[in-house]
Amino acid sequence: MGRMGNEPSELTSMERRALALMPHPDDMEILCAGTLIRLIEAGWEVHVATMTPGDQGSPDKPREEIAAIRRREAREGALSIGAASYTCLEFDDVRIVFDNDARVRVAGMLRTVNPSLVITTSPDDYMFDHIITSQLVRDACFNAPMPNYATREGQTPTSSVPYLYYTDTMEGVGMFGERIVPTCFVDVTEQIERKSAALACHASQRAWLLKQHGLDDYIGAMKRWCARRGQEIGVAYAEAFRQHRGHPHPTRDLIGDTLGKRG
């Protein structure tokens, strides 16, 4: 059942496949697009998925209309970084729950891609969609290799338990305001403009973020946060992650080894 804590040998070119499974359109662009671009530049096949189409993300458009807009924006954002695919799992925005139906659907997504590396949101974050997504993805990493764990017909078990990384939290703090200490930093200085361009695909979110979060310059806010993380490792811009190192996940810092350890 997976690697059972044993470190795998060097990945072959066919195994260099990553899945970023995030709650909403624009989460990937804000939290890990620079790293995904670097992986693609290093020869990795990268897939992007969101749990929801972000159907609550509008102050004035009905759910169906904003969902269609945001699916399109998410696909454009994934395409702009060179991702091999974009998939929406079609959960309802702000209604993601941890139940058996959700567990099977997320495990099925992992089986569709069969990634060696999975990136998702932090288990300690500012909203429940991020927290529950994190829990579901961690659960799927464990369950997807099991031959007797049934998902949709035609979805075969993954090769192994993948490397699992969690993205940064909002403002780098947990729910009690404690500072989150990353285990991995990625220098995205050369990728910051492509990351910004990918986030700019989500034009529908400017009005929503202004109303809900009081945030107008969402691209500038992203760049300022990447600059703060960059200062911690002596570069202009960086993204930060925590690696899941508990049993049975492999514990070698795959991202650091692939892209260069920083911090």
Please state whether beta strands 238-243 and 184-187 pair in parallel, antiparallel, or not at all (unpaired): antiparallel
What integer pLDDT is reported at residue 9 of this predicted model?
61
Assigned domain for 129 exists: yes
Domains in the chain, number:
1
Region of 52 please: left (phi>0), alpha (psi -120 to 50) or beta. beta
Per-residue pLDDT reduced to its tens digit, 37-64: 999 999 999 999 999 999 998 888 999 9
Contact partners, residue 179, CB within 8 Å, separation at least 6: 172, 173
| pLDDT tens, position by position, 157-211 | 999 999 999 999 988 999 899 999 999 999 999 999 999 999 999 988 876 666 5
> Does the residue 159 lie in any domain?
yes
With respect to residue 176, please indicate whether it lies within any of the assigned structural domains.
yes
pLDDT confidence of 10, banded at 50, 70, 90? confident
Helices 218-233 & 205-213 angle (0-180, nearest 10): 80
pLDDT tens column, 59-78 = 889 999 999 999 999 999 99
Name the average pLDDT for the chain.
93
Is 7 contained in some domain? Answer: no
Q: What pLDDT does 218 receive?
A: 84
Q: Write out the two tokens for 205.
A: 């979110």
**10 domain residue, yes or no:** no
In angstroms, the first-to-last Cα distance of the chain is: 33
Does a structural domain hold residue 8? no
Check whether 27 has a pLDDT greater than 80.
yes
Higher pLDDT, 81 or 5: 81
CATH code assigned at 224: 3.40.50.10320
Range of weakest confidence among 9-23, 33-47, 72-86, 222-236? 9-23
Q: Is the pLDDT of residue 103 over 60?
A: yes
Spatial separation of the C-alpha atoms in residues 104 and 99, rounded to whole Å: 9
Q: Which residue range(s) make up the domain with 110?
A: 16-259
Element (H, E) at 219: helix 218-233
Q: How confident is the model at residue 5 (pLDDT cuts 50, 70, 90)?
A: very low
User: In this predicted structure, what is the pLDDT of residue 207?
Assistant: 66
- For residue 262, give the 3-state DSSP assignment: coil
Percent of the chain residues topping a pLDDT of 70: 92
> Is 3 among the domain residues?
no
